[in-house]
Each structure stands twice: as C-alpha cells, then as structure tokens.
Amino acid sequence: MEVVIVPDAEAGGELIASAIAGLLARKPDALLGVATGSTPLPIYQALAARVRANTLDASRARICQLDEYVGLPKGHPESYRSVVLREVVEPLGLTEASFIGPDGTAEDVAAASSDYDRALAAAGGVDLQLLGIGTDGHIGFNEPCSSLASRTRIKTLTQQTRVDNARFFDSLDEVPHHVITQGIGTILEARHLVLLATGEAKAEAVALSVEGPLSAMVPASALQLHPHATVVIDEAAASGLK
C-alpha cells in the first residue's frame, strides 16, 4: 500500500485526476469505479476542468458505481445513480450509455446485487476504483464486521453512517436504512484501488486502516491485501498516523 500525504483536498483531487488521466491515456475505454459523498468531489471537479480545457479526452471512459441506496424512487436527486450522473458522467461529457450501477429500485435486491457483480465482470473488471472512507472505517457501504470476502449485496447502514449522510437529505428520517454495495471481495478485484480521505474526522479510521491489523472491524484495512492500493490523505486525515 502506498500512502501519499498531500497539503489539502484540492491537491488530492489533482493528484488522483492525474492518475486517472494517465490511465485513460493508456486505456481510453478504462472502467472507472466512482464513489459518492463529499470527499471525491475535488477529483471530479479536477477531471471536468481538464475535459473543458481539452487537456483530457475522457470520451471513451466507462463509469461504474460503488453502491446505491435501496428504496429511493428512480430519479431521486440523492440516489447515487443521480449523483454520479450529475457529478461525473455529465461533466465528463459522457452519457448514461457509458455507465453501469446496481438497481436500488429492484424488487429482488439479491438478484440485482448478483446481476451487478456479473455486469462488472462482463465489462472486463474495474480498472481503477475510487474509494472514500467512513468515520467507522467503511469502504463502499461495507460497515464494520463485513466479510472481507463479501460480494455485492444488501447492507444495513449503521446509525452513525445515516447521521453522517443526513446532510444530503432534509431530515435524518429520509436517509434510507439499506444500500446495495459492492462487497469487499468485489472491491478488491479492481486493478487499482485509490482511497482519498480528507479532514480530521477521518484521521482515526485512516490510522486504523493503514497501521492497524487487518480486521473486518475496520473494512478499509482490507486495502492491505491489495497489490496496488494508493491511499491519498491530507495532513488532517494523516494526523493519527504514527
């Protein structure tokens, strides 16, 4: 695992955008796995700025989702499909045709989950998976105690994660209780994992993931198992490291 400490979130966004630009130069139709939440926004802004400035051609890139709320109606502005279309797909000049994600509106969530694992494999696997980290160490929505070998499936959000995500909704009551998330085993199949963490609130989770023992209690510690994992953190998120 490579750990890179950057001065701030913007620098982290630029660094990771450069890694993605390098990947797209080598493989224009790379499958890029994206995360939602606040942390990756500087990456998406840096990529969009490069596309606008004609210094990045992302026109053949393919995008896939890490996770999705269960039960939000199709087109809900906070469904992760809507967020990824708004923050990534449209700014990069792509269309929905270049995008795959799990169906959080499916009646049969278990079938939708395994369908998604199959769709990722059929697409050739994820070339670079962006990850954020929860204050409890989750990646995707694999909360503590998730199996390190887990596949895409339904998970129940912890109360802490619902509280953390309530800022995107009008009230805590509106935050769904369930999600479909790529499993830790699914995530580990991506060829390159890039986790960005910024801010002091992530410092403890980062320290446990990077320096602590491999543990299902800290799902992000699974990155220690991956042959090509890069953890990009700002100084505040690095403040818990020895």
Site for ligand F6R contains 230 (CB under 6 A): no
Site for ligand F6R contains 160 (CB under 6 A): no
226 is catalytic: no
Both tokens assigned to 17: 């955008």
Query: Of 16, 21, 30, 39, which lies in the binding site for ligand F6R, with binding defined by CB under 6 A?
Result: 39
**In the window 170-189, what residues touch ligand F6R (CB under 6 A)?**
none
177 is catalytic: no
Question: String of b and e for 17-52 (b: at least 16 CB within 10 Å)?
Answer: bebbbebbeeeeebbbbbbbbebbebbbbbbbebbe
Query: Of 67, 127, 143, 234, which lies in the binding site for ligand F6R, with binding defined by CB under 6 A?
Result: 67
Residue type, 2: E
Site for ligand F6R contains 136 (CB under 6 A): no
76 is catalytic: no
Of the residues 68, 87, 117, 136, only one is catalytic, namely 136
CA distances from 122 to 12, 45, 118 (A): 31, 29, 6
Site for ligand F6R contains 37 (CB under 6 A): yes
Q: How far is the CB of 223 from ligand F6R (least distance, A)?
A: 13
Site for ligand F6R contains 66 (CB under 6 A): yes
Q: How far is the CB of 26 from ligand F6R (least distance, A)?
A: 26
Of the residues 76, 138, 164, 192, only one is catalytic, namely 138
Site for ligand F6R contains 139 (CB under 6 A): yes
Both tokens assigned to 208: 């446990």
Locus of tokens 């697409």: 123
Residue type, 124: G
Question: String of b and e for 123-133 (b: at least 16 CB within 10 Å)?
Answer: eeebbbbbbbb
108 is catalytic: no
Locus of tokens 């923050």: 87
Query: Of 132, 137, 185, 219, which lies in the binding site for ligand F6R, with binding defined by CB under 6 A?
Result: 132
Q: How far apart are CA 152 and CA 155, in angstroms?
A: 9
Catalytic machinery residues = 67, 136, 138, 143
Task: List residues binding ligand F6R (CB under 6 A).
Answer: 35-39, 66-67, 132-134, 138-141
